[in-house]
Amino acid sequence: MPTKLLFVCLGNICRSPSAENIMNHLIAQRALGDKIVCDSAGTSSYHVGSSPDRRMNAAAQRQGVTLVGQSRQLTAADLETFDLVLAMDQSNYQDILSLDRSHRYTRKIKLMCDYCRRHSDKEVPDPYYGGEAGFDYVIDLLIDACEGLLAEIKA
Ligand code: 4NP
């Protein structure tokens, strides 16, 4: 059975689809498609059905990754389905924990930045209301975290 990863942010149009698509890119490069599968979701319903943000996709494409997918909202059932649920920031982390009313899944829920090896950030900043540099920074941070996470899963 493959390890199932779920990346979670607020809107599921910027950070978590970037994490999902970057991870899928690394998985394809390393032929690990039968070992790891990825999805993403948002804690909010604000953008359900929307494609990834255009500015986020432009930043991803500058690093050779195209963002595909459609926003969906996180559900309590996701906590059962996935092996690891990766929150982009503390607010996402708390929102995910509050869906886990039985406190059964606490050990599956992690902060994405815990896997960074080059950056010391504790959270992936929300780029939505900022400029282009913020989107490029998110991609750089997520490449770092995805590489670290992949190394940990393989170990
Ligand atoms: P994301 O970014 O959580 O990384 O997808 C955001 C997208 C939309 C909003 C906030 C953050 N919003 O407020 O609509």
Radius of gyration of the chain (CA): 14
Give the number of the atom of ligand 1 that is nearest the alpha carbon of residue 44: 3
Predicted structure pTM score: 0.98
pLDDT digits 0-9 by tens, 65-118: 999 999 999 999 999 999 999 999 999 999 999 999 999 999 999 999 999 999
What is the rounded distance in angstroms from the CA atom of residue 39 to the CA atom of residue 32? 15
**Per-residue pLDDT reduced to its tens digit, 27-44:** 999 999 999 999 999 999
Ligand 1 atom having least distance to the Cα of 16: 4
Protein residue whose Cα sits closest to atom 9 of ligand 1: 11
